Every structure is written in structure tokens, then in C-alpha cells.
Amino acid sequence: MHRETLLVDADDTLWENNRFFEDAIGRYLLLMGREGLEREAVRARLDQTEKKNIPRHGYGTRSFVVSMEEAYRALAGPRWRRSILDEIARLGQELGAAPTQIFEGVPETLAYLSSRHRLILFTKGESAEQTEKIERSGLRPFFEGVEIANEKSVGAFKQMIDRYRILKRHGWMVGNSPRSDINPALRAGLNAVFVPSTMPWDFEQEAVRSGEGKLIVVRCFRHLSRYF
């Protein structure tokens, strides 16, 4: 087959990510419960605050901590306490130190794919945080380039097409998010491989829409070797 260009997502495609955030949210909800705040109301306010803050603060641990603090102060009102903000900050520190747990089969599959095709890591988030994850993962040598975007929009994919001179019919986005990986890539004229996450983030979920390119759905990352 032709040598393809595979743009590969990182968080929740190559390694665990959302599970650590959900663990932190669980601990946050317990903390808020001890303050007399109702669990469902806290979770709803946190989700609402995150969505509001992402355009301003971006993705990543620091933005998440800002949202946890803001949600707490809004719900607690004048009863908010500095000690609770300190606890939230510690949750963020522990989240930032979470290990990079690579999914089973990823290194072997990347080794196989990189011997046959051009691989580019295309992720989003806070640049320093994502760079650290990539370096910790040990997967950097498999990729010709690394690109960290603030948001994976159709425009961002078109910039990737131009920057790397990708022939659309031989270009693919591989990722777990319909909202950030699959749909914008298809709308930009690329092909896409959807690798559903076992623990998806609600914010990234939407119906997979058709585009100009082809769509492949695989059960796990290692199954990419069946197609490429």
C-alpha cells in the first residue's frame, strides 16, 4: 500500500488520561461532601465551570484546578475556606504527577507502523504538560514530528495538512475523541481511525459525522496493524 501519514492523538489514545481526572473528581466530590455540599450539584457545577473555562484557560491540570476552585467557591459562597482551596491544590499536584500508563500493545504497534508509514503526534493541551507526558512515555522516537494545539479544530487540521504536505487521500487521524479527532479531521478532508476510549470524557463525545474521507473503527490501538 502507499506510505500513509498518520496523525496520532496522545491522551486516551496512547495512554490513560481521563481515568486520572475522574479519580481526582471522585476525591473532590468527597471533599465537597464533607463541606456539606450535595454531590450531584457539585459535579454539575464543576462540569459547567470546566466548559466555561476551557476557551479561556485551555486543557490540562492547571485549568482543571482553576475550575475545581471556582466551582467550590461558587457553591460555598461566603462559607468558603482557605484550607479547602489548599486541599484542591494538592489534588492538582497529585494529578500532575500521575504516571504515563501506556495502553497495552501501543509501543509494538507504533514500531510496526513507523517502519511503514509517517507518524506525527498531534495532541492538544498545555504545551509544557503535554511535552512532559510525551517524554515520560518513551514513545517520541516513533514520530517524525510532534504538534501540540490549543484546540483541534478544522482549521488546525488544515494547518497540519499544509505544514506536513499531506495528501488528503493518504492522510489519517487516529484518535479516541469524535469531537476533537474524528469529526474535524473528516471535515478537513482527511481519513480517520476511531479508537473508542474505555473511559471517555463527556465533553469530547458527539455523534461521528461523515466527511470527505474514509472512516475506520477499531476496538483497540493494536488493531491498526490490520489496516496499515
Give backbone dihedrals phi and psi of 125, rounded to 5 degrees, phi first: 135, -165
Give backbone dihedrals phi and psi of 16, rounded to 5 degrees, phi first: -65, 140
Helix axes 82-96, 61-76, angle to 10 degrees: 160
Q: What percent of the chain has pLDDT over 70?
A: 99
What is the Cα–Cα distance from 204 to 102, expressed in whole angstroms? 20
Last residue of a domain, one of 96, 116, 143: 96
| Residue 122 shares a structural domain with residue 88 | no
| Residue 138 shares a structural domain with residue 43 | no
Last residue of a domain, one of 81, 96, 111: 96
Task: Answer yes or no: is pLDDT of 211 > 80.
Answer: no
Last residue of a domain, one of 65, 96, 127: 96
How high is the pLDDT of residue 199?
Answer: 76
> Which one has a higher pLDDT value, 212 or 111?
111
| Residue 112 shares a structural domain with residue 32 | no
CATH of the domain at 154: 3.40.50.1000
What is the Cα–Cα distance from 223 to 68, expressed in whole angstroms? 37
| Residue 114 shares a structural domain with residue 204 | yes
Number of Cβ within 10 Å of residue 198's Cβ equals: 11
Helix axes 61-76, 39-57, angle to 10 degrees: 130
Number of Cβ within 10 Å of residue 134's Cβ equals: 20
CATH of the domain at 87: 1.10.150.240
218: left (phi over 0), alpha (psi -120 to 50) or beta: beta
How many domains, in total, are found in the chain? 2
| Residue 137 shares a structural domain with residue 204 | yes
| Residue 112 shares a structural domain with residue 10 | yes
Q: Could you tell me which residues are beta bridge partners of residue 216?
A: 193
| Residue 126 shares a structural domain with residue 158 | yes
> Which one has a higher pLDDT value, 41 or 206?
41
Q: Containing domain of residue 47, as a range?
A: 18-96
| Residue 35 shares a structural domain with residue 123 | no
| Residue 196 shares a structural domain with residue 123 | yes
| Chain segment 130-187, per-residue pLDDT in tens | 999 999 999 999 999 999 999 999 999 999 999 999 999 999 999 999 999 999 999 9
The pTM for the full model equals 0.91
The grid cell for 113 is 507502523
| Residue 105 shares a structural domain with residue 91 | no
Asked whether 83 and 65 are in contact (CB, 8 A), the reply is no
In terms of C-beta density within 10 A (0-12 exposed, 13-18 middle, 19 or more buried), how is residue 3 classed? exposed
What is the maximum span of the chain, computed from C-alpha positions, in angstroms? 65
How high is the pLDDT of residue 55?
Answer: 86
How high is the pLDDT of residue 1?
Answer: 66
SS3 state at 219: coil
| Residue 63 shares a structural domain with residue 105 | no
| Residue 22 shares a structural domain with residue 10 | no
Q: How confident is the model at residue 200 (pLDDT cuts 50, 70, 90)?
A: confident
DSSP codes of every residue in 27-53: HHHHHHHHTT--HHHHHHHHHHHHHHH
